[in-house]
Amino acid sequence: MGRPASPETSERATQAFIKTLKLSAGFFLLSIALLPLAIGQALSSALRPLTRKAVSIITEAVGERREWKSDDSAALQKEELIIPSTTLYEAFAELYRHGMHGKEWIVALGYQKIDGKCIVTHVYNLKCSISKSAEAEPDYGDLSKALRFYENCGAQIAGFAHIHPWNGRSVAPSGIDIETHSRWEELYDGRFIGIVFNNSGVFRIFHSEKCRFRPAVIGNGVRKVGADLYELERTCVS
């Protein structure tokens, strides 16, 4: 029989065995922890062509959406409507003839595209079927003539101007004015404005947020006194 192992040798063997067990347990736990990563990497490699296709589709869709937004922004851009001071004086002269007698009145404004710019070029003196101190309504037969006139001249109606004779200062559109204007603005796809004068030559240009015109008053004899609020500087009319 061989000699029995010494206590020191037995202790070293036990420690080596325990160390081996610990290493084995550690590698086993590590393999479990790394298994999802290994599976994920394998799936990623297998699905890489599909991933590339998905990214391509998403990129294309985002690009198209940006183009749509760009198109929408362009569509919402307002077009400048140039209103010469001469046409404003012409409109006021006709309106004042009735306003000085305490009656509301309406005229139509027509515009043409000249060198790519929308310019108000004409005032059409409408007949009014109703003309009272706080109410006016155009004769629609005469209004039809005005629209045909503009069409024959290659022009379009730009809006209505009317006078409020019942208050020396008020040029704010009434509730009826706003309601009526909204219908015309919708009819002409947002290309329609309204103007309210008083007997002193002060006037306000009004429209809704959906209006596709951005009015711009040019020429001498008109002074801007507020947001969309103006004053004719020479109001001597006969």
Q: Which amino acid is at 68?
A: W
Between 238 and 178, the more confident residue is: 178
Count of beta carbons in the 10 Å neighbourhood of residue 180: 16
The pLDDT, as a whole number, for residue 211 is 95
DSSP string, the chain: -PPPPPHHHHHHHHHHHHHHHHHHHHHHHHHHHHHHHHHHHHHHHHHHHHHHHHHHHHHHHHHHHHHHHHHHHHHHPPEEEEEEHHHHHHHHHHHHHHHTTT---EEEEEEEEETTEEEEEEEE---EEEEETTEEEE-HHHHHHHHHHHHHTT-EEEEEEEE-TT-SS--PPPHHHHHHHHHHHHHTTT--EEEEE-TTSEEEEE--TT--EEEEEESSSEEEEETTEEEES-----
β-strand pairing of 135-138 with 128-132: antiparallel
Average pLDDT over residues 161-181: 87
Tell me which of 61-75, 78-92, 198-212 is least confident.
61-75
Q: Which amino acid is at 223?
A: R
pTM of the model: 0.67
Of 65 and 77, which is predicted with more confidence?
77
Please tell me the number of Cα atoms within 13 Å of 54 on its side-chain side: 5
pLDDT of residue 196: 97
* Segment among 46-60, 92-106, 130-144, 221-235 with least mean pLDDT: 46-60
CA-nearest of 145, 127, 144 to 136 is 127
179: number of CA atoms within 13 Å, CB side? 3
Name, in order, each residue with C-beta under 8 angstroms of 233's C-beta and a sequence gap of 6 or more.
Answer: 201, 221, 222, 223
pLDDT of 67 reads 46
Task: Tell me what the mean pLDDT of segment 190-217 comes to.
Answer: 95
Close Cβ partners of 176 (under 8 Å, ≥ 6 residues apart): 135
β-sheet bridge partners, residue 131: 136
pLDDT band for position 15 (cuts 50, 70, 90): confident
User: What are the structural domains of the chain?
Assistant: 1-77 (no CATH), 79-232 (3.40.140.10)
Judge whether 161 and 95 are in contact, CB under 8 Å.
Answer: yes
Give mean pLDDT, residues 139-150.
93
How high is the pLDDT of residue 237? 54
> If you average pLDDT over residues 3-29, what whole number do you get?
65
